[in-house]
Structures are given as structure tokens and as C-alpha cells.
Chains A and B, each alone.
Chain A
Amino acid sequence: MLSSYFVMVSAIIFALGFAVLITKKNLIMMLMGVELMLNAVNINFVAFSRNAIDPFEGQLFSLFIMIIAAAEVAVALAIILKLREHYKTINPDMMDELKN
């Protein structure tokens, strides 16, 4: 398989993740969009590292990205639960204390 097909798929997934991020009015859904974008980046890393001199550099990079993403989700969900406790909603449009 040619690497560019994988890169094309990852481009589509990245765009869909971005659309999810700006469409959904729910913090957990937005988090899922961010995870989709990180997944697309991982596919890119692995696909391009296939032609590199040392193919394991890119794979290690995507491994580290995965670990960082897991850590990010843990902290983000803790913050979301706290926000829900405070505002009684997780719609980011409702959290507008600084707006007025």
C-alpha cells in the first residue's frame, strides 16, 4: 500500500475531528473531537516513518502522543466534572460569567 492513501485518510479524519470540535455544544463531545485529531496525527507519523531511515522514530513519537492524549483526557474529564458541579451544565455556551 502506498503511504499517501493513509495520509489522505488521516486528513479526512483530522477535518472531521475539527468539525466535531466546533459543532458540538458539549465538552465531552469536543474532547472526542480532539482525540480524533490526535489519532489522525498518529496515522501521519506512522505512515511517514515507514519510508524513513529509522522507522521506529515515528512510531515512538506516536506512542508518546498516545500517552499524552490519555493524560490529557484524564485531566480534562476531572475539570469537566468540576465545571458541571459548579455550573450544572457542560454546555460551553452556558459558561459565560466573564461575558457581561
Chain B
Amino acid sequence: MDNLDLLLLSGWLAKIVFAIFSLGAIGGAAYLLFTKNILYGAYGFLVSLISVAGLFILLGAEFIGVSQIMIYVGGVLVLIMFGIMLSANGKNALEVSNVNLLLSLLIALCVSSGLIYMVSQMNIAYDEQSYEGVNQVNELGMHLMTTHVSLLEIIGVLLLVVLIGASFIAKKRFEDA
């Protein structure tokens, strides 16, 4: 553990980095809410996803952060972009109308303020576990291969089913046409 890590874990640097990433996450999500262009909304979503990956790394879960970037930014967002491209047609194809914006903002305000109040009333322990000397990837792999191996197998089967099912749903049926 070198000096930068120590600074990152204990000092003001962690707060600044946390502020940047949380602003990015919340700002991207808010931009997605307020924009009327679906492609710009996808870019806001991208900012939010990358910032959440940074939050994961700040929480000490490096592997989850890297998987977030790989799965969400590399997979889900590209899929969504392709969906936007394939579903857009005609003039003003990227325009989306906002309905009930005031009502939904009110609900969001209520939900978030209630949750924040609840969290601030909770007593979360100060002394989080130290990850010093723990090899994250090693530990996660050991868990995956010992205690959670059935879950891993089920996930593998699920991914296969999704692969087949999605391509089956999306294919053209010539007898319909």
C-alpha cells in the first residue's frame, strides 16, 4: 500500500473523489430524466454508469467496478445504442416527450428524501473491513468456485437461454409476412 492509497483511504482526497463521482452519477441520471433526445439521454446514462464504477472502486470493490465498466458500458450501453439505432425512424426519430414530469419529480423527491432520512437515522458501523493484504480476485474466485458454484452454473444456463431466446424473438418470421 503506497502513499496515494493511504491518502485515498483516509484523507480529504477520498471526499473529493467521492464528490466527483457522486456528482457524475446523479448528474448523468438527472440529465437522462430531463433531456428530450434519446441519444443524449444515452450519453447521460454512460456518464452515470462510469461514475458508479468509480464509486465501486472507492468502496474497495475493484473487481465489481471493472465488471461494471465491462458489462454495462461495454455490453448494455452498446445494446441500447443499437436498439436506438434500429428503432428510430422518420423525422424527429430521437425526440421523446416527457409526461407527468412534475408528478414524477415529486415522487422521486419523496422517495429519495425518505430513504436519506432513514439512512441518516441508521447506525452504520464506522470501522469498515480493511482490505489490506486481501487479493480480491482470488477471494471472489474462491467464493464462486466453492460456496456459490451452483449459482454460477445456473447463471451460465440462464445466459445460454437468453442468448437463444433473444435471437429467436428478434429474428424475422417469413411466414408472417
Contacting pair A75 B115 (CB below 8 A): no
Contacting pair A2 B124 (CB below 8 A): yes
Contacting pair B33 A4 (CB below 8 A): no
Which of A12, A23, A42 is in CB contact (< 8 Å) with B64? A42
- Interface range for A: 35 or more
- Interface range for B: 35 or more
Contacting pair A51 B128 (CB below 8 A): yes
Contact with A along B148-172 (1 / 0, CB 8 A): 1001000100110011011101100
Instruction: Return the chain A residue nearest B151 by Cβ.
Output: A64
Q: Which residues of B contact A (CB under 8 A)?
A: 14-15, 18, 22, 25-26, 29-30, 32-33, 38, 41-42, 45, 48-49, 52, 55-56, 58-61, 63-64, 67-68, 71-72, 75-76, 79-80, 82-84, 86-87, 89, 96-101, 103-105, 107-109, 111-112, 115-116, 119-120, 122, 124-129, 131, 139-140, 143-144, 148, 151, 155, 158-159, 162-163, 165-167, 169-170
Q: Which residues of A contact B (CB under 8 A)?
A: 1-9, 11-20, 22-26, 28-29, 31-33, 35-36, 39, 42-43, 46-47, 50-52, 55-57, 59-60, 62-64, 66-71, 73-75, 77-82, 84, 88, 90
